Each structure stands twice: as C-alpha cells, then as structure tokens.
C-alpha cells in the first residue's frame, strides 16, 4: 500500500514537472517570437464588434465602411482610430460644398492612403497634401479605406466622394490591389472555436505555427480560396482593369483629372517597385519585381489603356534617401525611415515625402505639364 502511494505520488510529481516545464518552454518560445517579431501581425476588421471603427455596407462591392463620428481613446490604428469624421472618413470635418474659389483633390487607396499605423491624423498623406496646398487654394480629402481593392476604391468614389465635387482624383496604387476582393472581410468565412480565435489573436507563437501549417485554414483564408462569395460575384476578376475603366468614365462624365501613383516597397537595402500583376491577375507573394528603370509594370500598362496619367513614387523616395547622408551614416535604412512596422505602410516621414511628390505632380497636371 505504501509502495503504491509512493508510485502515485512519484507519477504526479513527474507529471507536474512535465507540465511546468512545458509551460515554461512555451512561455520562453512566446517571448522569443515576440522579441524578434517572428511571424505575422494580426489585423482584422470586425464589423460586428461594438468598438470597431467599421460597419457592414449594403453595397456588396464595398463590403464594409467606416462608422461616421467614430471615436477611440486607445486605438490600434487598424480596427480602431482616434477620429472618424461625420462622413465616415479618416479626415477632418468636411462640408459637401467647396469654399468659393477653391478646388478639391480626392485621394483614393487602401490602408496606405488611410494612414494605418499613424496616430496623428495630420501626419497622413492627404493631410500633408492639404497643408502644402493651402496657398494653391486646394483642399485634399482622404477617402482611403484599409483593405479595399482598386474596384472598391473607385466604387467608394462613385457612391460617396463624387458628392464632394472633386477637381482631381488621385489613386495610390499598392501591390496587393490586384486581389479581386477587399481583403479585410475575407476573415469571416471560416468558423472556428472561440478559444482558437483567441489564441490566434493573442499568441504570436500560435499564430506563427498556424500560418506555417495552415492550421484550420488560417493561411488559406488570406488567399483567394476563402473570400466573401457575394463580393467576388459582384467584382469578378481583373478588378484593377474594371476600376480604371470606371474611373476613366467617371472622369469624363464629371470633368475631374486623374492621377495614379504607384506605391513602392521599402526594404532594408533599397526601395523596390513590385509588380504583382500579370494581365490584371494576382500573383501570390512578391514574385515579380520591376527594376527601378525597367519595363512597364502591369498597373502602368492598364493605366495607359484608359489614358490615366501615372508615375512611380519610388523615384522620390530614392532621391530623398540619397539626401539623408547623416541618417545613413547612423545606420538608417529605407525601411526604418519610410515604413511603419512593415515594408509598406508609411511612417510620418514616408507620408510627407509622398505628399510632396503628389503635390508636385498635381500642380504639373493642372498647369498642363507632362509626367515622367
């Protein structure tokens, strides 16, 4: 009897040691992936959550939109923001009517244009432009929306931004705009246990492993296989071509000028133009990279098809980087200077450099100048 009790006690002790060791190992691994930022960040647009800045849209091409007059004192700058204006845009308050003698520019785009990862609204691309063009008597309105593809961006122009009577529309084109759906709503296709969803959001270790092994389709749902059926039916394929065609028609009908600005990727060793399109189709990953002075990118070819002026922002970032000798000597890289947390979303400096380039091109178009 005493021997049996000893064996049971010994087994329990060993089990406890195994459990404690496992928990310590998992805790250490979790700390390790957090410190070295291994694996992807998680950003989701949850329209059904009360404190989300987003709400569902009745327009299937849009899928979701920002809530008018939304406020948040502790925003994560993706699902929530400090301030959304009365028209449901991340911008200062705007009236539908222009100021007498003033012009307007509407900026379209995804999270790059919307200013995700940038707390101060005045440090976003459109607000920098707005401040730079005061002497031109031009207002610059932000209609960027995180996760939108090109077709949805132009749909937002058609359904909402045209009410503000723009004189020019600028599309900030990002590499993933070739995806034929709005990526943020692709997360609601697959139903999983709540504790699994909780682990994916709160544990970087679990998230990394789930994405690597495609556990419960966490990796697949970010691809074309797990998209909102209704939206895919509405948008169909070749959303960039559709969007540019509609933009061209609207520009003729409403008399505004157009400009497409191609957004680069910021690496530690350079500023790269990434071509993720092939005849308007999305390619998974950064497979196709156009050299700085290489052949026309897919987006440039499509813009030419519909007579939309376009230019690459990469040239302006390279010129700015070349002029920052002291920062380079201190070890700064394009990614550390111009990006905020990844290789795409602009920092305050990145937004400012882009704004100066966009203002220069807008002025050139209005004065009859030619783009590069």
Per residue in 44-86, pLDDT tens? 555 556 688 988 888 988 988 999 999 999 888 888 899 999 9
Same domain, 112 and 238: yes
- The confidence band for 279, taking pLDDT boundaries of 50, 70 and 90, is very low
CATH number of domain containing 329: 3.40.50.1110
- pLDDT over threshold 60, residue 335: yes
- pLDDT over threshold 60, residue 266: yes
Q: Looking at the domain assignment, is residue 320 inside a domain?
A: yes
The larger pLDDT score, comparing residue 318 to residue 63, is at: 318
Q: Looking at the domain assignment, is residue 67 inside a domain?
A: no
Distance CA 220, CA 9 (A): 46
Q: Looking at the domain assignment, is residue 130 inside a domain?
A: yes
Same domain, 20 and 109: no
Same domain, 32 and 105: no
Q: In the chain, pLDDT over 70 holds for what percent of residues? A: 80
pLDDT in tens, 112-171: 999 998 999 999 999 999 999 999 999 999 999 998 999 999 999 999 999 999 999 999
Same domain, 259 and 352: yes
Distance CA 107, CA 164 (A): 12
Domain of residue 15: give its range.
1-36
Q: Looking at the domain assignment, is residue 166 inside a domain?
A: yes
Distance CA 326, CA 43 (A): 35
Considering its fold, how many domains does the chain have in total? 2
Taking every pair of C-alpha atoms in the chain, what is the biggest distance, in angstroms?
99
The separation between the first and the last C-alpha atoms of the chain, rounded to the nearest angstrom, is: 91
Q: Looking at the domain assignment, is residue 276 inside a domain?
A: yes
Q: Looking at the domain assignment, is residue 324 inside a domain?
A: yes
Nearest CA to 273 out of 339, 344, 340 is that of 344
Same domain, 24 and 116: no
- The confidence band for 4, taking pLDDT boundaries of 50, 70 and 90, is low
Q: How many CB atoms lie within 10 A of CB 306?
A: 17
Residue 304's pLDDT is 96
Structure tokens at 6: 């000893």
Same domain, 24 and 173: no
> Does the reported pTM lie above 0.85?
no
Strand arrangement, sheet containing 310-312: 138-144, 103-109, 168-173, 257-262, 310-312
Nearest CA to 318 out of 270, 275, 259 is that of 270
Mean pLDDT of the chain, nearest integer:
83
Q: Looking at the domain assignment, is residue 41 inside a domain?
A: no
């Amino acid at each position: 009897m005493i021997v049996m009790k000893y064996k049971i006690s010994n087994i329990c002790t060993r089990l406890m040691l195994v459990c404690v060791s496992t928990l310590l190992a998992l805790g250490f691994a979790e700390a390790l992936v957090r410190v070295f930022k291994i694996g992807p960040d998680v950003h989701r647009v949850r329209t059904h959550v009360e404190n989300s800045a987003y709400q569902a849209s009745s327009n299937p091409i849009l899928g979701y939109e920002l809530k008018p007059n939304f406020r948040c004192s502790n925003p994560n700058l993706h699902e929530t923001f400090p301030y959304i204006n009365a028209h449901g845009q991340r911008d200062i308050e705007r009236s539908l009517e222009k100021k007498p003698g003033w012009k307007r520019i509407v900026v379209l785009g995804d999270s790059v244009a919307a200013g995700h990862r940038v707390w101060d609204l005045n440090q976003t691309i459109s607000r920098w432009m707005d401040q730079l063009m005061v002497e031109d008597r031009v207002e610059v309105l932000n209609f960027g929306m995180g996760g939108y593809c090109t077709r949805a961006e132009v749909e937002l122009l058609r359904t909402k931004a045209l009410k503000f009577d723009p004189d020019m529309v600028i599309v900030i084109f990002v590499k993933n705009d070739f995806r034929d759906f709005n990526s943020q709503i692709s997360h609601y296709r697959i139903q999983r246990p709540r504790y699994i969803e909780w682990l994916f959001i709160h544990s970087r270790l679990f998230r990394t492993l789930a994405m690597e092994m495609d556990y419960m389709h966490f990796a697949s749902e970010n691809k074309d296989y797990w998209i909102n059926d209704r939206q895919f039916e509405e948008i169909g394929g070749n959303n960039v071509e559709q969007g540019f065609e509609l933009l061209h028609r609207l520009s003729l009908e409403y008399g505004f000028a157009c400009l497409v600005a191609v957004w680069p990727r910021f690496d530690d060793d350079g500023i790269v133009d990434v071509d993720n399109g092939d005849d308007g189709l999305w390619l998974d990953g950064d497979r196709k990279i156009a050299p700085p002075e290489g052949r026309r990118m897919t987006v440039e070819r499509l813009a030419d098809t519909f007579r939309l002026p376009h230019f690459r922002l990469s040239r302006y970032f390279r010129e700015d980087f070349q002029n920052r000798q002291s920062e380079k000597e201190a070890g700064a890289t394009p990614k550390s200077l111009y990006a905020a947390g990844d290789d795409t979303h602009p920092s305050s400096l990145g937004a400012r450099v882009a704004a100066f380039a966009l203002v220069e091109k807008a002025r050139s178009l209005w004065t009859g100048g030619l783009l590069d």
